[in-house]
Structure 1
Amino acid sequence: MAFYSPITDYDVYLFKEGTHTRLYRKLGAHLIEGGCHFAVWAPSAREVYVFGDFNGWDKFSYPMKRRPDPSGIWELFVPGVWKGCKYKYFVVGADGVGREKSDPFAFFCEQPPGNASIVWDLSYNWQDDKWMKERGRHIDYHAPVSIYEVHLGSWRRVPEDQNRSLHYWELAYWLGEYVKEMGFSHVEFLPIMEHPFYGSWGYQITNYFAPTSRYGTPQDLMYLIDSLHQRGIGVILDWVPSHFPTDEHGLAFFDGTHLYEYEDWRKRWHPDWKSFVFDYSKGEVRSFLLSSAHFWIDVYHADGLRVDAVASMLYLDYSRTEWVPNIYGGKENLEAIEFLRKLNETLYRDFPDIHTFAEESTAWPMVSKPTYMGGLGFGYKWNMGWMNDTLFYFSKDPIYRKYYHDKLTFSVWYAFSENFVLPLSHDEVVHGKGSLLGKMPKDDWQKFANLRLLFSYMYAFPGKKLLFMGGEFGQWREWDHNQSLDWHLLEYFPHRGVQRLVKDLNELYRKERALHELDCDPAGFEWVDFSDYEQSVISFLRKSKSGEMVLVVLNFTPVQRYNYRVGVPKGGLWLEVFNSDSELYGGANIGNMGRVMAEDVPFHGRQYSLSLTLPPLGAVFLKPAYDICPQG
């Protein structure tokens, strides 16, 4: 694919203004007839050289030329350079010190611990036309969006080959088949952009335009995404515009000045990650980040971006004891806020069929509302409040849960303030937090029943779904990025039961419009009873636009409940369409024999009611028999 086009005065204008979204067609290394064109931004550098395989790594034989405009860009055409050629820049900075730097716009990089950039082209024959034409309807607010979050290096490994990770092209088959079988609509990859430290899980990025070479070439990653698309599976990429590592070959102190990062150390240094913060006040830095975001959707056909650590961008005092207030004396980072708005405006302008997802952990208002309304413009926001309250509640011994009932019910009161995703993500199964199964209290029977109940509650609650790998089959061990998931656990029925439950929940979520169509609309939810804290039972209705409904009743104690009466709006036969205590999942088949007749007994303010048997630590979903419809 021919990307390169010469830099124009208009490019320079957009670059400096902070609105250029296609810099990857201008900067970096581009193979053209007879050789390669190199271009790098280093406005304060005294000299810049390009060197590599093509000149025996002689640092000084190819001096680059500064453009005769205010762009700060250095350029050079080098004849005879070939695809696969390794190279670096030698930047003599404003301080007179020469530093070897990777290309910030490199398309491919040497596998760590090496840090050379690699001349590469991005040609690929995509076969996902059908998906690309239809992908918008698979990720919109009315769609059954269920996301499988994956760390590519540890999803599955090859113990016979030095415990290596799978390559992109191997994942194309194995991951694609698994996700399709499990019924997830999308996968979300922890950052796959090149990062020097594997243990950062990809969150310390040095190269914002290069997929990590640990698992293969850029075309191998394209093949993975292409294969997933052909199976009807969308791809969301984790993206980190909030901070970057201080590795000498990377962006830090690039031209002998704090070029990409803030000058003031109180804004530049992030104590949580011991990394540098981008200087969002510079138009060129904003253009760099905007171009990176557009690159992964334009070139790699990503269907969405999950933006990491948004809260750390919004607040100048985030995790800091010393900080610099904004021009109005406040703690909001006005430059970062403007950047996030521009990011979303330009992405939705150019790719209206994708969505952006914000990991934002505070109560910042209107994160997923349009910018013209004063919002940040994201498509969705992770519901961190729901996640924290839910896991806190589930960690309690059921005998004490009645004292924490509000943790379970409070989330509904803000459930529609944003377009939410319910995340049970990688962050909840690391750093001593234990696995999801390990968080559950009491003996093994109760742990598995609680986990099945947790997933049932998540799929019933308003919001799109996200589950980190391993949770879907009840991994005991906390996630370790250096090891494969414990797939051998599927030899044991309780784990296979949890896996089957998640698969069936995905199918039910997709099939029943009442469970997904109004995930982001208060018209899709109605309480039946949230006040039965003594028995730790809640019940509610999920509804579709056309009036279809699903009744959800959840029993959070290990006590089987007979003749539990629940008010319903319709008479006649109700079918039990899901029961988390099914023997298929490792339960005891306690329930309602698949159906129950509504009685003309008013209850919960409704004309009819059902007398139900509630399984211990169980969930039952029911719907009126005449609402049953083919899968849509």
Structure 2
Amino acid sequence: MLADSNTNSVPTFQSEVEPGRFLTMPKDGTGVAVLDPWLEPFKDALKSRYAMYEKCKKMIQESAGGYDNFTKGYEYFGFHVQNDNSVIYREWAPNAAGASLIGEFNNWDHNANVMQKDKYGTFFVSVPAKPDGSVAIPHNSKVKISLVMPNSGERADRLPAWAKRVVQDLNVNPNYEAVFWNPGHQYVFKNKQPPRPKSLRVYEAHVGISTTEYRVGTYKEFTQNILPRIANLGYNTIQLMAIMEHAYYASFGYQVTSFFASSSRYGNPEDLMELIDTAHGLGITVLLDVVHSHASKNVLDGLNMYDGTDHMYFHGGGKGNHDLWDSRLFNYGAYEPLRFLLSNLRYWMELFQFDGFRFDGVTSILYKHHGMSYGFSGDYREYFNELVDEEGVMYLMLANDMIHQLYPQAITIAEDVSGMPALCRPVAEGGVGFDYRLAMAVPDMWIKMLKEQSDDEWDMADIVHTLSNRRHLENNIVYAESHDQALVGDKTLAFWLMDKEMYDFMSDMTPNTPVIDRGISLHKMIRLITHTLGGEGYLNFEGNEFGHPEWLDFPRVGNNSSFHHARRQWNVVDDGLLRYKYLNEWDRAMQLAESAFGWLSSPQAYVSLKHQDDKVISYERAGLVFIFNFHTTKSFTDYRIGVEAAGEYKVVLNTDSSIFMGHDRIDENGSWFSTPEPWNNRQNYIQVYIPCRTALVLTPKDNLKWSQKDMVVSYKK
């Protein structure tokens, strides 16, 4: 669509409304208003935020020579072994009156390695090599920076803010302690990072819960046991949660204490590198769930009150506190916090070879109210007013611009509930620069329907509207449920559908009760319609693909520190006698079909039918025809479905197949021939048999790239 460019604008583009007409994309941040005329009244606000972004980017260029140098703070701050085996340590703590490097290496002597302070507020010290020429500080030995607090003159020990490894020994100290990590060798990556997927099929995973045992799982176990499962299912992307070190395990990784340290509870940094490297060898992209929206309030092992003030990395006073999350809020407009955060992104990309990020809490960054007690209606005025945090918007624009400039194949995803326009348009157009946003309204819809409505009350038009109501030219990642719906206090879709009967009737040796039959059928249908109609990417939380029994609850005081619900029960899907295997195989079939046909990377679906009384929905996408019969009891014979392409149609997917615990009511070897007569605004129609609670995917015979008959099922029938 892009055409020529000139010196006064970014490239012109062809109008999708008026083919043949080329429009100019301004360079002042109002380009998104060319794409979306509803943004015209807010051009001044767009110009203002873009000007702030440009000013900050210019400052980075003038002070550091651009993103490349500015975002390598991890190569300057923290610990660095020199060629002569001395160690230089630097830490920014502008308000501290003095500092010493202390640790096991100098018997915690505050006078042994007193630090100097430069004019920018950075303390530094060089520790000479040992007399035998070995590295000054032993590998894996404990270290701290001891700061003299302003005004009081008292000493307070802190963990190095740029520490690459922190560990916890609950038998000695409940707080984390930093160690000097210098194993003497660097992990050598063996596999190239895979090309950026055209269609994003995301497996959201948490290393710690990825074991059946009553404990925390490890990176190595995930590499050996879980990566093969993900690859077999057909997912091409993993989103790793809770990797940045967090002192409180039950926070799910969202109360970060050490931003540059991979969580030691799962293993060492090299183990994480091996996990990512192995995933790349399987052709799987790996994204980090990054938490830059806030930080833990911890003082002894976090960034809070680091140099004795509340405004070092964060805003001071009430502006720097998130009342709902009980955490601290970054000052995105200040130089060193900005360098810290942008360098943090670069660090994970460069040293660990992550392929991109899912940014947590984007709504909190975008608005001064942080989304608390604020309901977004979709009125554009909600996105361009005094409640918008322009510094937060600027930070996200800089982060996305930096990531995509230095790593063109990288992927960024926004977790945003507000629906801010242009969040997923390039920064050069005046957008915020994300590649995808999470379609957070979709899982809310499914849970609400299952909680509040009978199946007969389901509104087909509402389902279609929620799944297809997304901003044109902005990519969505859709999901039926994520980790949010799995947490204690809520229920997964499988539990909402089948509840206590999952304990007694999920064996092939037990009767197929009406509750189980309904639950299995709707679980498959909900996932298929979500996957195929709702977005340009798809996400699943680990275990939900096979209807994981029970909920997710981390060890905490309220459950007597139990690991019973803080694990994934892979044993139930591996047991050939249990019915979880059918849902697992269905999920695999969807991913393999998407890989073959690419509906996620195709234009949005054309919905030709949403019949409320019949409870039938039909639409076309990527050369496929999707047909859903949500009716509780009615099956339809010779039901007319409008199709655009003429010809002979064959089965691609069928939820009623016995390999997915269906009833085999459809002849999958049959053909459906089109009739050249318009129907439901399509040029032709086919007539199909669609049993109740069944979904069917068909395609013209000459487009049959893959079908479920090509599958070798993973279980033994």
Output the CA distance in 1 between the equivalents of 2:608 and 2:239. 34
Residue identity matched to 1:611: Q
Q: 1:614 to 1:575 in 2, by over 3 A?
A: same
Which of 177, 182, 189 pairs up with 1:116?
A: 177
Question: In the TM superposition, what is the alpha-carbon distance from 1:486 to its structure 2 partner?
Answer: 2.0
Question: In the TM superposition, what is the alpha-carbon distance from 1:155 to its structure 2 partner?
Answer: 1.4
Tell me, yes or no, if structure 1 residue 379 matches structure 2 residue 463. no
Which of 68, 80, 85 pairs up with 1:30?
A: 80
Tell me, yes or no, if structure 1 residue 343 matches structure 2 residue 406. no
Residue identity matched to 1:126: V
Task: Deviation per CA, 1:138-188: give whole Å up to 9, x if none.
Answer: 2xxxx232111111111114x3xxx33332122211112111111110111
Residue identity matched to 2:590: L
Tell me, yes or no, if structure 1 residue 526 matches structure 2 residue 606. yes
Output the CA distance in 2 between the equivalents of 1:466 and 1:570. 30
The answer for the alignment partner of 1:83 in structure 2 is: 139
Output the CA distance in 1 between the equivalents of 2:694 and 2:108. 66
Tell me, yes or no, if structure 1 residue 484 matches structure 2 residue 560. no
Which of 628, 634, 652 pairs up with 1:554?
A: 628
Question: In the TM superposition, what is the alpha-carbon distance from 1:314 to its structure 2 partner?
Answer: 0.8
Asked if the contact 2:201/2:538 (under 8 Å) is kept, the reply is yes
Which of 98, 117, 122 pairs up with 1:73?
A: 122
Q: 1:206 to 1:144 in 2, by over 3 A?
A: same
The answer for the alignment partner of 1:439 in structure 2 is: 496
Asked if the contact 1:88/1:101 (under 8 Å) is kept, the reply is yes
Asked if the contact 1:31/1:83 (under 8 Å) is kept, the reply is no
Q: 1:487 to 1:584 in 2, by over 3 A?
A: same
Residue identity matched to 2:487: V
For residue 89 of structure 2, give the secondary structure of its aligned residue in structure 1: strand
Which of 44, 56, 59 pairs up with 2:95?
A: 44
Task: Deviation per CA, 1:550-609: give whole Å up to 9, x if none.
Answer: 000112222322222101123321001101111101111123434322234432133321
Task: Deviation per CA, 1:9-28: give whole Å up to 9, x if none.
Answer: x9993499998211000000
The answer for the alignment partner of 1:21 in structure 2 is: 71
Asked if the contact 1:168/1:221 (under 8 Å) is kept, the reply is yes
Output the CA distance in 2 between the equivalents of 1:72 and 1:12. 20
Q: 1:104 to 1:400 in 2, by over 3 A?
A: same
Which of 554, 571, 584 pairs up with 2:646?
A: 571
Question: In the TM superposition, what is the alpha-carbon distance from 1:99 to its structure 2 partner?
Answer: 1.5
Which of 289, 310, 322 pairs up with 2:362?
A: 310
The answer for the alignment partner of 1:610 in structure 2 is: 686
Task: Deviation per CA, 1:380-409: give whole Å up to 9, x if none.
Answer: 11111233234434553211113x632432
Output the CA distance in 2 between the equivalents of 1:344 and 1:276. 23
Output the CA distance in 1 between the equivalents of 2:217 and 2:315. 41
Task: Deviation per CA, 1:248-286: give whole Å up to 9, x if none.
Answer: 121001111123444443311112210111111211101
Output the CA distance in 2 between the equivalents of 1:454 and 1:558. 14
Asked if the contact 2:286/2:356 (under 8 Å) is kept, the reply is yes
Q: 1:582 to 1:550 in 2, by over 3 A?
A: same
Q: CA RMSD in A?
A: 2.5
Asked if the contact 1:37/1:75 (under 8 Å) is kept, the reply is yes
Output the CA distance in 2 between the equivalents of 1:465 and 1:320. 27
For residue 479 of structure 1, give the secondary structure of its aligned residue in structure 2: coil
Output the CA distance in 2 between the equivalents of 1:196 and 1:526. 48
Tell me, yes or no, if structure 1 residue 467 matches structure 2 residue 553. no
Question: In the TM superposition, what is the alpha-carbon distance from 1:321 to its structure 2 partner?
Answer: 7.7
Output the CA distance in 2 between the equivalents of 1:507 and 1:277. 42
Question: In the TM superposition, what is the alpha-carbon distance from 1:337 to its structure 2 partner?
Answer: 0.7
Output the CA distance in 1 between the equivalents of 2:698 and 2:177. 59
Question: In the TM superposition, what is the alpha-carbon distance from 1:494 to its structure 2 partner?
Answer: 2.2
Task: Deviation per CA, 1:38-79: give whole Å up to 9, x if none.
Answer: 100001100111111101122343211102x3x210000113
Q: 1:26 to 1:12 in 2, by over 3 A?
A: farther
The answer for the alignment partner of 2:696 in structure 1 is: 620
Asked if the contact 1:15/1:284 (under 8 Å) is kept, the reply is no
Tell me, yes or no, if structure 1 residue 135 matches structure 2 residue 195. yes
Asked if the contact 2:488/2:552 (under 8 Å) is kept, the reply is no
Tell me, yes or no, if structure 1 residue 504 matches structure 2 residue 589. yes
The answer for the alignment partner of 2:388 in structure 1 is: 332
For residue 286 of structure 2, give the secondary structure of its aligned residue in structure 1: strand
Residue identity matched to 1:275: S
Residue identity matched to 2:157: E
Q: 1:419 to 1:240 in 2, by over 3 A?
A: same
Residue identity matched to 2:552: W
Asked if the contact 1:91/1:100 (under 8 Å) is kept, the reply is yes
Structure 2's unaligned 5+ residue stretches are 1-59, 129-135, 375-383, 499-513, 555-562, 708-717
* Residues 40-439 of structure 1: pairs in structure 2 closer than 5 A: 40-67=91-118, 69=119, 71-79=120-128, 80-96=136-152, 97-111=154-168, 113-121=174-182, 123-129=185-191, 131-132=192-193, 134-136=194-196, 138=197, 143-157=198-212, 159=213, 163-249=214-300, 250-319=302-371, 330-395=386-451, 396-402=453-459, 405-414=461-470, 416-423=472-479, 424-439=481-496
Output the CA distance in 2 between the equivalents of 1:504 and 1:118. 46
For residue 116 of structure 1, give the secondary structure of its aligned residue in structure 2: strand
Output the CA distance in 2 between the equivalents of 1:612 and 1:198. 52
Asked if the contact 1:95/1:256 (under 8 Å) is kept, the reply is no
Residue identity matched to 2:445: D
Identity %: 24
The answer for the alignment partner of 2:710 in structure 1 is: none
Asked if the contact 2:149/2:307 (under 8 Å) is kept, the reply is yes
Residue identity matched to 2:168: Q
Q: 1:83 to 1:257 in 2, by over 3 A?
A: same
Which stretch of the first structure deviates more once superposed, 24-33 or 119-128? 119-128
Tell me, yes or no, if structure 1 residue 599 matches structure 2 residue 654. no
TM-score, normalised relative to structure 1? 0.89
For residue 440 of structure 1, give the secondary structure of its aligned residue in structure 2: helix
Question: In the TM superposition, what is the alpha-carbon distance from 1:126 to its structure 2 partner?
Answer: 3.0
For residue 111 of structure 1, give the secondary structure of its aligned residue in structure 2: strand
Output the CA distance in 2 between the equivalents of 1:329 and 1:185. 39
Output the CA distance in 2 between the equivalents of 1:108 and 1:15. 30
Q: 1:263 to 1:296 in 2, by over 3 A?
A: closer
Task: Deviation per CA, 1:423-476: give whole Å up to 9, x if none.
Answer: 331012114111120123782211111111111112212321100011011112
Asked if the contact 2:422/2:430 (under 8 Å) is kept, the reply is yes
The answer for the alignment partner of 2:557 in structure 1 is: none
Structure 1's unaligned 5+ residue stretches are 1-9, 323-327, 544-548
Q: 1:493 to 1:589 in 2, by over 3 A?
A: farther
Residue identity matched to 1:615: P
For residue 697 of structure 2, give the secondary structure of its aligned residue in structure 1: strand
Which stretch of the first structure deviates more once superposed, 462-471 or 303-312? 462-471
Asked if the contact 2:310/2:317 (under 8 Å) is kept, the reply is no
Output the CA distance in 1 between the equivalents of 2:496 and 2:312. 41
